[in-house]
Structure 1
């Protein structure tokens, strides 16, 4: 089993070019104001305008931002871009909040989720699992039980609706082999951060290539 790479927190045209030079990747733009990789709306729209012929798919990541902020970006995006994209949410809102945008979305798994009916949303097209949580369950001997409970909740999204299962890692995380025995992982998601930068917001191509190569047999397209 091999998974596709997804890069989180893209913030400039050059980094997108580097990512595509290295192979087929998906992209995630971060609209969370407190994130180090926060991208302002006007910069995102400028990037998209210049790259819309080459960008094949991306997500727009939010947390618990007011719905009008999300809708404002969607309104502006609709006038310049007509290709596929997903919303992405890592907050703890209700299904009504996520469904109100009427757009396909990716949702970050939370043990403290306030509304489990999110798993039944017709717009839910993928789930992100944090590797830190999976590693914790594995180290405590709770991994198999976690997998069982997770698939019980996510069955409709992942199996019936063929949604994507994404695991978010940090560079250098030691992936235990049984992870791919228990999960059919579609994407491995990694952040643009100091591990692949020469300085703040300056990605180094060699560092990025070495870091991705270090994932070894778990990825495809590289």
Structure 2
């Protein structure tokens, strides 16, 4: 079944709202500031897309038709053309056309072990005897010589680890937040994960970007809606 105009409008408003802002700014010559809100697609035709938005200083919705260079033949082509426009517009605003709107938690055994170790050290900072002298020595089969060696250095290891991870957050993660327009709620989760486990969390972030790039390619080639259960 061929793609219809209403279906395309629904797809663009569901999956590509930030990208419509890019199109409005670059192709519609609208200055985007805090007064511009609720940007979405009103309609699509074979020769243009019409965006609507609200402005705090105006009581009526604003309409902005964005014409194509030439009329297209079907709405699959319109979908491809609009997403191509969005992909080209995003770098002009110093952002990516891709958006990260999910969080991936530790997945491999190594990632989970790292989280457990750092979490144990965090608890041990406040309750060293409980962790080292009770849980690790009596409940878990941890050799006593290991416990006696690590226990005096728990706070130093913990502070050093968290400090290094905080540097990774500042250098690698925060710029990604801006580039991929991560929502504040997701930012908090990514900050916590990266502070605890460090760069493995950032690698998972990059894998999400790679998945989003594949999905974008699917849509830009005229593909139909894909339900993402991770979002």
TM-score normalised by L of structure 1: 0.25
Higher radius of gyration, 1 or 2: 2
Between structures 1 and 2, the one with greater helix share: 2
Between structures 1 and 2, the one with greater strand share: 1
TM-score normalised by L of structure 2: 0.24
